[in-house]
Amino acid sequence: MNIRFALEKDIVPIVELCQAHAAFEKVACDATNKQELLSKYLFHSSSILKCIVVEWDTEIVGYATFMKQFSTWDASFYIYLDCLFLKEKTRGMGLGTQLMRKIKEYARLENCKVIQWQTPDFNVEAINFYHKIGGISKSKERFFWHI
């Protein structure tokens, strides 16, 4: 097992994992141009989007995407974890904890003291996992305004 930053050759399994992640969270995932768009945002030299993958033998079985953002209230930068997903067959093996540790290492290198993320309220296993690693939750509503 290897946890590493994604390479361009990983784009097809990353898109497949994105689709599986969306299905798990009961939302649609339009795959149109997804490979090209994600490649553009993940692998361009000025990109703020980062992606870590979990490689098991030769298979990509999980991923996490995150980026550095700014909190006006805290007057400091933090890491926003956009996605974290593991194939069902690999859950409960400690891979999520290892992914979060890797993101924590990156956050420290970027002088960020906080990592923020969200998960659907029905994802009890994820909520329990996040509490287990020391995550603290806040209740908020997330809004979408499509333009």
Residue ranges per domain, the chain? Answer: 2-132
DSSP string, 32-53: TTHHHHHHHHHHSTT---EEEE
> pLDDT, tens digit, for every residue of 101-128?
999 999 999 999 999 999 988 989 898 9
Q: Which long-range contacts (CB under 8 A, 24 or more apart) does 89-92 make?
A: 89/61, 90/54, 90/56, 90/61, 90/62, 91/125
Q: Provide the whole-model pTM.
A: 0.89
Amino acid 65: pLDDT:
98
Q: What is the mean pLDDT of the chain?
A: 93
In CATH, 2-132 is 3.40.630.30: yes
Q: Which band of pLDDT confidence, cut at 50, 70 and 90, is reported for residue 99?
A: very high
pLDDT higher than 80, residue 145: no
Q: Which band of pLDDT confidence, cut at 50, 70 and 90, is reported for residue 82?
A: very high
Q: Which band of pLDDT confidence, cut at 50, 70 and 90, is reported for residue 30?
A: confident
Across the range 129-136, mean pLDDT stands at: 91
